[in-house]
Chains A and B, each alone.
Chain A
Amino acid sequence: MSAPALRVAHLYPRLMNIYGDRGNIMCLRHRCEARGIGFELTDLSTGDRLDPAAFDLIFAGGAQDREQRAVADDLLATKAEAIREAVERDVVLLAVCGAYQLFGRSYRESTGVELPGAGIFDLRTEHPGAGAKRCIGNIVANWRAPDGTTRTIVGFENHGGRTRLGPGARPLARVRRGFGNNGEDRTEGAIYRNAIGTYVHGSLLPKNPALADHLIATALRRRHGEVALAPIDDRAELRAHEAALRLR
């Protein structure tokens, strides 16, 4: 069997890159290469088609409203169907902020216009109106890791839309400090099969190495079976994570 390699698709890297999303890709690359695992990155932009069999992990980040509208049309036209198929085949998906919203069933803008989403996650997002406060600030949430332990996810959130999960999605984490999905039910993010959506940026993965490793291990498992991820130097990562737990 060939040496394992993580094949990553980065959706709209030029248009959806507002909150340091590049850090998530840098983190995946670093955590693979430090262990001798190959890392193959493919950027997919507007017009590009996505082959659902070609990737182990699909990533998409946040965008400003204008870019998000440009992306939404292209996503539905050229990629949504293939992403749904990939997720049903247990490919890992990580969608942050704007992409998280786009991958739900629908998004109601502040003007009341309802836009269809890609329908990966059973959730709906509504913007409560132009006068409503955005959910902005540092966030800490509890995440039940696959080994059964409770870990923290730290980062920053900045979103106007409020997201509510349907029965087909479960929350990624419970909010300890911050707003999360809607500022009311203490849920943050969503999980469906191996797809994860979240409002946490900052960037998400560099400061949350346990979550990053969970994504890598899950993504590799499909083609390579269990791949043991050897411990790597996480001093700077854990120092930043610990510091974030103390932020107001």
Chain B
Amino acid sequence: MQVRTLAAIVAGKAAGAGSRLLGRGGGTAVAGLVAERIDPGVVRRLSAQAGHGAIAVTGTNGKTTTALMLSRIAREAGLVPLHNRSGSNLMRGVAALFVREASLGGRIADAARRLAILEVDEATLPLIVPAVRPRAVVFTNLFRDQLDRYGEVDAVAQAWERALADAPADATLVLNADDPGVAHLGGRARGRVLYYGVDDTGAAVAGDEHASDFRTCLRCGAELAYGATFYGHIGHWRCDACGNRRPAPDVRITRVEQGEETMALTIAAPAGELRVTLPLAGLYNAYNALAAAAGAIALGIAAPPIVAALDGFSAAFGRQERFRVDGREVRVLLGKNPTGLNQVLRTIAAREGRKRLLFFLNDGIADGRDVSWIWDADYELAQPLAEWVLAAGTRAEDLALRLKYAGFGGDVPVERDARAAVRRAIAETPAGGTLYVVPTYTAMLEVRELLARRDGSARHFWEDA
């Protein structure tokens, strides 16, 4: 081990401990930032010790949940995952993971059984791939998100193509066949490609969705046609102009039965059929489970641990988490872009009874400063079942106006302060009732901390995952 790497580990650990002492929850990235500055090769050198190599998970929506599912699958398979914490998906977050797991002598404990499972920010993939040389890369989907930060969807697509040019020749690409922006990457693969997708057209929505970010064929520019749309631009797509079409998936959901709290999935894979009862609702979670199963299959993991881990799965940080607060159930469902929000609203609307809804809209850097995306999301889906609604967050007034257009009335109450909003919403929820909280990313961090404080059973979030 080089002296510089050891110095990076020591300094990184010290910085991380200092940041935790100051109570800056989740601020673990500083450990990685410091370590990387001292030794830019720290991730490359430490990740190389993992006996089972690395798998990366990227995409706009679902990467946190998919990576957490893969981590649980790895555990069931007898491996020891090295998994970065939710949201710490930039280079410094990945560096922080390895610095934390390394000894002062630069050794990763139990290295022979280690599999690195890395959630990676879309735009960071070109940095991570050459550093960790993954055995497989899972792509979930590509939607518009934070246009002011990433630029256009095409800019992300180009970053992914650059990343793939640096991937090991024998790396497997695990691609969502149903997303034209992801499936397109199959043409760039140098190694094996494993496509996954949903075959069960019974899960399709009628017509097409407004929030759709790939309208045109990436090969010829003509407008795409759909045989079935599952959500956003995810579906059975084809280009009638040039013949480009959804590839036939290798790992595919042949049947989805959606319940209020669970989904029964039948997954056909090359090695046989998997039957999973996923304790999560929403078709987007069926895709997350499918992506995780396909990623595990790409690594050669057998069916039993995949099924066991998915059957026993509990939600990732801020994604369909449940809290108990003063005898009320509080459900937190992250909604940070039009497609993700529509999926969350469909999931809420599918549940029985009238709902109390607390929506948050923040415009922090990590949310995107531009909030115009709310006009592309279908808040109308939630209106018929709403009993009470509150618009919260730094852009609460914009949100209240959008909710007015969705039929919630011209006097939707507004509360900018997260603490006051949560207090008010809980007070409005009768004992034994359920409150639904739909925050953007930075609001999710605030809300979760506020709720965790009031729910003794919740773990503090830097211990998460």
A22 to B396, CA, bound (A): 20
Q: A46-B223, A202-B371 are in contact. Are A64 and B152 (CB under 8 A)?
A: yes
Surface stretch bound by A, among B48-56, B300-308, B407-415, B422-430: B407-415
A240–B410 CB distance below 8 A: no
**Complex Cα spacing A136 to B212, Å:** 23
Q: Please, which residues of chain A bring their CB within 8 A of the CB of B372?
A: 19-20, 23, 155-156, 201-203
0 or 1 for each of B191-225: is its CB under 8 Å from A? (1 = yes):
00000000000000000001010011000010100
The 8 Å CB contact of A20, one of B215, B373, B411, is B373
**How many pairs of A and B residues are in contact by the CB < 8 Å rule?**
104
CA–CA, A244 to B401, complex, Å? 12
Q: State whether the Cβ of A5 lies closer than 8 Å to any Cβ in chain B.
A: no
CB closest residue in chain A, given B398: A240
A138 & B210 in contact (Cβ 8 Å cutoff): no
Given the interface contacts A15-B223, A233-B410, does A156 sit within 8 Å of B152 by beta carbon? no
7 contacts between A and B (CB under 8 A): A21-B375, A30-B405, A70-B221, A235-B410, A236-B404, A236-B410, A247-B363
Contact of B221 among A23, A64, A69 (CB under 8 A): A69
Cβ of A213 under 8 Å from chain B: no
CB B404 to nearest CB in A, in angstroms, measures: 5
Interface members, chain B 374-429 (any A CB < 8 Å): 374-376, 395-398, 400-402, 404-405, 410-412, 414
User: Would A15 and B216 count as touching, CB distance under 8 A?
Assistant: yes
Closest to B152 in A: A64
B148 part of interface (Cβ distance < 8 Å)? yes
Any A CB within 8 A of the CB of B147:
yes
Interface status of B113 (Cβ within 8 A of chain A): no
> B76 within 8 Å of A by Cβ?
no
Closest 4 pairs (CB-CB, A-B): A20-B375, A23-B375, A20-B372, A243-B397
Q: Which residue of A is nearest B409, CB measured?
A: A236
**Distance between Cα atoms of A45 and B222 in the complex (Å):** 12
Q: In residues 109-125 of chain A, which contact B (Cβ within 8 Å)? A: none
**What residues of chain A lie closer than 8 Å to B375, measured between beta carbons?**
20-23, 26, 203, 206
Q: Which residue of B144, B148, B363, B400 is within 8 Å of A239 (Cβ)?
A: B400
What residues on B are CB-neighbors of A66 within 8 Å?
A: 154, 216, 221
| 8 Å CB contact of A136 from B215, B369, B411 | B369
Is A18's CB under 8 angstroms from B147's CB?
yes
Contacts of B216 in A (CB 8 A): 15, 66-67, 70
A17 within 8 A of B: yes
Residues of chain A touching chain B, judged by Cβ–Cβ distance below 8 Å, are 14-15, 17-23, 26-27, 30, 45-46, 64-67, 69-70, 134, 136-138, 155-156, 158, 201-203, 206-207, 233, 235-237, 239-240, 242-244, 247
Contact (Cβ within 8 A) A236 B215: no
| A18 touching B148, Cβ below 8 Å | no
Complex CA–CA separation, A17 to B153 (angstroms): 13
The B128-185 residues at the A interface (CB cut-off 8 A) are 144, 147-148, 151-154
Specify which chain A residues have a CB less than 8 angstroms from the CB of B374 in the assembled complex: 20
Asked if B240 is at the interface (CB within 8 A of a chain A CB), the reply is: no
A237 cross-chain contacts in B, Cβ below 8 A: 401
Is B370 positioned at the interface, with any CB of A under 8 Å from its CB? yes
Bound CA–CA A30/B363 (angstroms)? 26
B391 to chain A, nearest CB (A): 9
Q: Please tell me if the beta carbons of A156 and B370 are within 8 angstroms of each other in the complex.
A: yes
Min distance, Cβ A208 to any Cβ of chain B, angstroms: 11
Q: Which residue of B lies closest to A202 (CB)?
A: B372
In the assembled complex, the Cα of A21 lies from the Cα of B402 at a distance in Å of 13
Residues from chain A with Cβ under 8 Å of B400 in the complex: 236, 239-240
Q: Which chain A residues lie closer than 8 Å to B370 at the CB level?
A: 19, 136, 156, 158, 202
**Roughly how many angstroms separate A15 CA and B412 CA in the complex, as a whole number?**
32
The CA-CA distance from A138 to B369 in the complex, in Å, is: 8
Question: In residues 343-387 of chain B, which contact A (Cβ within 8 Å)?
Answer: 363, 369-376
Residues of B within 8 A of A243 (CB): 395-398
**Are A236 and B412 in contact (CB-based, < 8 A)?**
yes
In the bound complex, how far is the Cα of B375 from the Cα of A27, in angstroms? 11
A242 CA / B370 CA spacing, docked (Å): 17
Across-interface contacts of B398 in A (CB, < 8 A) = 202, 207, 240, 243-244
- Chain A residues lying within 8 Å of B154, measured Cβ to Cβ, are 64-66
CB distance from B83 to the nearest CB of A (A): 34
A88 to B210, CA, bound (A): 33
Q: From residue B442, how far is it (CB to closest CB) to chain A in Å?
A: 16
- For the A-B complex with A203-B375, A207-B398, A236-B400 known, give 9 more contacts whose Cβ atoms are closer than 8 Å: A14-B215, A27-B405, A65-B154, A70-B216, A70-B221, A201-B372, A202-B370, A239-B401, A240-B401
Contacts of A21 in B (CB 8 A): 375
Assess whether A64 is in contact with B401, with CB atoms less than 8 Å apart: no
Inter-chain contact B401/A207, CB cutoff 8 Å? yes
- Asked if B405 contacts A26 (CB within 8 A), the reply is yes
Q: Is the CB of A15 within 8 A of B215?
A: yes
| Contact between chains at A17 and B210 (CB < 8 Å) | yes
Whether the pair B369, A137 counts as a contact (CB closer than 8 A) is yes
Give A207 to B372 CA distance when docked, in angstroms.
11
- With contacts A26-B405, A64-B152, A136-B369 taken as known, whether A236 is within 8 angstroms of B411 at the C-beta atoms is yes
Nearest-neighbor residue (CB-CB) of A23 within chain B: B375
> Are B147 and A22 in contact, with the CB atoms below 8 A?
no
Distance between Cα atoms of A166 and B176 in the complex (Å)? 48
